[in-house]
Amino acid sequence: MPKIVDHEQRKIKIAEATWNVIVQDGLEKASVRNIAKEANMSAGSLRHYFSTQSELFAFCMQLVSDRVKNRAAQKSYDGSSLEAMETLLSEFLPIDEDRRTEMEVWLIFSSKTLVDPTLEELSQLIYDEMRQAVSTVVEGLIDIGLARGDLDKQLEIERLYALIDGMAIHGILHPDRFSVKKTQTTLQYHLKALCK
Amino acid sequence: MPKIVDHEQRKIKIAEATWNVIVQDGLEKASVRNIAKEANMSAGSLRHYFSTQSELFAFCMQLVSDRVKNRAAQKSYDGSSLEAMETLLSEFLPIDEDRRTEMEVWLIFSSKTLVDPTLEELSQLIYDEMRQAVSTVVEGLIDIGLARGDLDKQLEIERLYALIDGMAIHGILHPDRFSVKKTQTTLQYHLKALCK
């Protein structure tokens, strides 16, 4: 009997194989057979870890969310507070290859939630978790006295959150038009606009 | 021989049937057979209008873009200039059922472009056209003297464009969290923040 940690690592390996298939060939090619092939295992073994495709997809989406959250939590925030906030928010943007893959998977799954109700609950959860991270930034700017006095906190949270996801979409779909450099400059510009 | 106008109308009817299938069941169900059934025609007739699925998908995506552009162009902009700009930008947001369907189709096709190179050129074209519309708003605010003096025009265009697409995504994926009312209030708040 495999140890629990091996079981979990195998599930992660399968999820990463699923990401690869999805990002290379699209969600409609993410069959058990194709994923098993990518993960170098049999379809039977794969079904041992995930009995349904929905279960596997939910795990894949959760893994994207966990990776982003863990990276954000592990960062050592040196530099000014504004820079620390920029670093935190950059975790949600496709500024390197790992983040780009995660964002692509997120986009593909997000569009899938429109027609697959089994993914909806998880999608809401991820939306709420990310909104919480964005709230932290806006509230932080207010608490440490950097923010302009006339800001509407709730609207600033909605605005920053939509800006982040919009930039993520533009960055993954149109990297030639909306480069990593533009993404970073636009984020810095927005954060500065919130400050005195 | 059918008149050209009939031919075009039939293509539009097929595209609308395709939208319905995609929004209800997902892109992977948008087979010629299913679309023909939704459009009340035979698969053979459908192939007379679109010889490949890529050709059909490209037409569908172009139709979304054309509808948005035509509505924006036909608007009579009464009220203050700021309101006129809000009206123009609202054409890109899921504030009613028609716009919601269009945005859902746009999102699903956009995520498809990640793995289908045949859609990429059209996707770039639509990106550029929408960016042009957003530029008009930012340049308009500057030209009529409403804009704050310290704005960076290029960065404001990137920021507003990303904000619009981010709000569109949040509105279609999480209508319970990000309502039409919130969408409108956030847009008004952003436009006001750009003004003196």
Which residues of chain A lie closer than 8 angstroms to B173, CB-CB? 110, 113-114, 123, 127
Provide the pLDDT confidence category of residue B3 given band limits of 50, 70 and 90.
Answer: low
- Say whether residue B26 is in contact with chain A using an 8 A CB cutoff: yes
What is the CB-side half-sphere exposure of residue B142 using CA atoms within 13 A? Answer: 14
Note the pLDDT of residue B130.
92
Instruction: Please say whether the beta carbons of A77 and A178 come within 8 A.
Output: no
Shared-domain flag, residues B111 and B133 = yes
Instruction: Tell me the sheet residues that pair with A128.
Output: none
Note the pLDDT of residue B40.
95
Note the pLDDT of residue A170.
98
Report the number of distinct structural domains present in chain B. 2
Contact A127 B163 (CB under 8 A): no
Indicate the Cα dihedral angle A152, B171, A131, A23, nearest 10°: -140
- Say whether residue A188 is in contact with chain B using an 8 A CB cutoff: no
Residue B78 has pLDDT above 60, yes or no: no
Among B154, B165, B185, the residue to mutate for chain A (most A Cβ within 10 A): B165
**What is the Cα–Cα distance from B141 to B164, expressed in whole angstroms?**
17
Which residues of chain A lie closer than 8 angstroms to B185, CB-CB? 155
Note the pLDDT of residue B4.
67
Shared-domain flag, residues A34 and A100 = no
Shared-domain flag, residues B178 and B153 = yes
Note the pLDDT of residue A183.
98
Domain end residue (candidates: B30, B51, B72): B51
Residue with the bigger pLDDT between A69 and A189: it is A189
Q: What is the pLDDT of residues B64-76, one digit of tens each?
A: 988 888 887 777 6
- Say whether residue A115 is in contact with chain B using an 8 A CB cutoff: yes
**What is the Cα–Cα distance from B115 to B108, expressed in whole angstroms?**
12
Burial of B53 from C-beta contacts in 10 A (0-12 / 13-18 / 19+) = middle
Shared-domain flag, residues B29 and B106 = no
Contact A170 B161 (CB under 8 A): yes
Nearest CA in chain A to B24: A115
Q: What is the pLDDT of residues B112-166, one digit of tens each?
A: 888 888 888 889 999 999 999 999 999 999 988 899 999 999 999 999 999 999 9
Shared-domain flag, residues B63 and B36 = no
Shared-domain flag, residues A92 and A47 = no
Note the pLDDT of residue A79.
58
Instruction: Please say whether the beta carbons of B171 and B93 come within 8 A.
Output: yes
Average pLDDT of the segment spanning A111-119: 86
Instruction: Please say whether the beta carbons of B43 and B32 come within 8 A.
Output: yes
Which residues of chain A lie closer than 8 angstroms to B166, CB-CB? 161-167, 169
Cβ of B56: how many Cβ atoms within 10 Å?
A: 21
Instruction: Tell me the sheet residues that pair with B195.
Output: B147
A135: CATH? 1.10.357.10
For B:76-105, CB contacts with A below 8 A are 104
Among A108-117, B69-78, B97-106, which stretch is predicted with the lowest mean pLDDT?
B69-78
Shared-domain flag, residues A82 and A46 = no
Provide the pLDDT confidence category of residue B12 given band limits of 50, 70 and 90.
Answer: very high
Instruction: Please say whether the beta carbons of A116 and A52 come within 8 A.
Output: no
Domain that holds residue B22: 1-51
Two tokens at B171?
A: 């509105």
Shared-domain flag, residues A18 and A105 = no
What is the CB-side half-sphere exposure of residue A106 using CA atoms within 13 A? Answer: 29
Quote helix, strand, coil % in chain A, to nearest 5: 75, 0, 20
Two tokens at A112?
A: 């899938």
Shared-domain flag, residues A168 and A101 = yes
- Its ipTM equals 0.91
Provide the pLDDT confidence category of residue A173 given band limits of 50, 70 and 90.
Answer: very high
Contact A158 B186 (CB under 8 A): yes
Contact A174 B124 (CB under 8 A): yes
Which residues of chain B lie closer than 8 angstroms to A24, CB-CB? 115
3-state secondary structure of B76: coil
Q: What is the pLDDT of residues A32-74, one digit of tens each?
A: 999 999 999 999 999 999 998 888 999 999 999 888 888 877 7
Provide the pLDDT confidence category of residue B1 given band limits of 50, 70 and 90.
Answer: low
Note the pLDDT of residue B84.
87
Contact A107 B110 (CB under 8 A): yes
Which residues of chain A lie closer than 8 angstroms to B177, CB-CB? 124, 127-128, 131
Residue A81 has pLDDT above 90, yes or no: no
Indicate the Cα dihedral angle A96, A102, A106, A107, nearest 10°: 40
Contact A170 B172 (CB under 8 A): no
pLDDT > 90: percent of chain B: 62
Note the pLDDT of residue A112.
87
Note the pLDDT of residue A127.
94
Instruction: Tell me the sheet residues that pair with A147.
Output: A195
Shared-domain flag, residues B96 and B120 = yes
Contact A111 B108 (CB under 8 A): yes
Average pLDDT of the segment spanning B24-30: 86
Shared-domain flag, residues B156 and B182 = yes
- Say whether residue A116 is in contact with chain B using an 8 A CB cutoff: yes
A26: CATH? 1.10.10.60
Distances from the Cα of B4 to the Cα of A60, B56, B95, B161, angstroms:
48, 18, 34, 37
Instruction: Please say whether the beta carbons of A26 and B119 come within 8 A.
Output: no
Shared-domain flag, residues A26 and A100 = no
Residues in chain A: 196
One-letter amino acid of B178: F
Residue A3 has pLDDT above 80, yes or no: no
